[in-house]
Structure 1
Amino acid sequence: MSLPVVLAGIAGLCVGSFLNVCIHRLPLRTSVIFPPSRCPACGTVLRAIDLVPLLSYLRLRGQCRSCGKGIALRYPMVELATAAGFVAVVARWGPGLAAFQAAVFLSLLIVACFTDLETGIIPNRVTIPGTIVGLALMAFGPAGPVPAVLGMVAGGGALLLLALVSGGGMGGGDVKLGALMGAFLGWPDIGAALAVAFLAGGVAGIVLLAARRKRRRDPIPFGPFLVAGAVAALFWSASILGWYGRFLRPS
């Protein structure tokens, strides 16, 4: 394993630790910098030794040092997911602008996914600045700003149209997340992301209904499916678009 890949994994663990703070605090509309991190159960300020990504969770056996309450499994999951994502982008594109763009994109997606799962909300403090950052970063890429702008309009526009047609079946956070995805993925890759998202969401909905875990009118967070589609398109957009093209082509 090369040194850049190892460093990417370490950086991912550290960034993932910060993303956990964002996931917890952004829906509460509090600062992600101050005050210092505390145990959600007893309020004890965590020491530096308790904040080492992943290792602290393992050493404390998933429990707060002060009160013994369990620490949510989401914390190591986010750190591992971020590390895996950073390793994947560096292994795919090597150190450079493309890997940095992808790492920023994955970080935003992780925050959006877990906030939607936990609260049913994708905060504007993620999607709006994230879209602006995406447009700015992609403007420096080889394709320039045009595909990013087209992707943003297509991603946000498609989900906005669906929200209007469905009468509330799609939330405003999903619409803005679609715009963010389009800014980073560009056109036509945003099409691949949306195709995978709707396919995954449809399959999951059918399974949940069949298992009686959800009723027909129960809300299902769509953000995680959009995130799954975005990750799939980030790495395999050409294959996805090619498959859909062959599937839709008249025989």
Structure 2
Amino acid sequence: MFDLPLEFRLALCMLAGALAGSLVNFGIYQFAWNRRPISPWSRPAQQLLVRTWADCIPIVGWLRLRREADFHGRGFWIRPLIVELLTAAGFAALYAWEIERQSLFLDLLPLPLPPPGRLLAPLSPALLHWPLGSHYALIVLMLMATFIDIDEKTIPDQITFSGVLIGLVLATVQPWSLLPGETF
């Protein structure tokens, strides 16, 4: 997989980001104290049409759910759509920054530095991808917490406790996934 063209890998990252954005939206509406039946995975109100599998497709599903605007309010679908689009773009951008440019490790290397993209040639690509996966997982949790906090001024324990636990486990299992910084 590591020898695939960069464009294809970025497209895979965008697809994974769109799916992760759907997970973020699911978490926003599932873990909120005041749950709203906006999510395509929740049971719709009786006045609405039955939702289909196509309504659950990332990005496209929110465009299809515009038909429920009379019930949920005008523009209810815009924020979830933007969350999925930006998560997709963000996953691809983080991949390009961490893997292709290897910028996460710039502070760890002695000067003078070779040009970006050639920095860590001796390291295996799999080793470079491990931190990326943990960063993706923590980004998903942070996005859920952020948008629930914006809506309700509170962060649910399901996200707080699981996020701390996941972060501690990832830092223990793969300490190289931590951000570079000062050593004490």
What TM-score, normalized by structure 2, do the two folds share?
0.65
| Contact 1:44/1:66 (8 A) holds in 2 | no
**1:204-246 deviations in whole A, cap 9, x for unaligned?**
xxxxxxxxxxxxxxxxxxxxxxxxxxxxxxxxxxxxxxxxxxx
The one of 49, 52, 57 equivalent to 2:54 is 49
> Is structure 2 residue 104 aligned with structure 1 residue 100?
no
- TM-superposed CA distance for 1:81, in Å, is 2.3
Partner of 2:171: helix, strand, or coil? helix
Partner of 1:24: 29
Partner of 1:130: 163
In the aligned structure 2, how far is the partner of 1:45 from the partner of 1:36?
A: 11
Q: How does 1:19-168 map to 2 (within 5 A)?
A: 19-28=24-33, 36-39=41-44, 42=47, 44-58=49-63, 60=64, 62-64=66-68, 70=74, 71-94=76-99, 96-143=129-176
Bigger relative contact order (CA 8 A; separation at least 6)? 2
Q: In structure 2, what is the Cα distance between the partners aligned to 1:65 and 1:22?
A: 21
Task: Please identify which structure carries the higher helix content.
Answer: 1
For 1:116 and 1:42, the matched residues in 2 are separated by 29
* Aligned residue pair count: 145
| Distance of aligned partners of 1:55 and 1:187 in 2 relative to their CA distance in 1, 3 Å threshold | same
Q: Which runs of 5+ in 1 are unaligned?
A: 145-183, 189-251
Change (3 A) 1:42 1:130: farther
Equivalent-residue separation in structure 2 for 1:56 and 1:67 (angstroms) = 17
Match of 2:13 among 8, 24, 29: 8
Q: Identity over the aligned pairs, expressed in percent? A: 26
Residues 143, 103 of structure 1: CA spacing in aligned structure 2 closer, same or farther, 3 A cutoff? closer
Measure the CA separation in 2 of the matches of 1:107 and 1:122: 14
TM-score of the two chains, using structure 1 as the length reference: 0.49
- Look up the match of 2:107: none
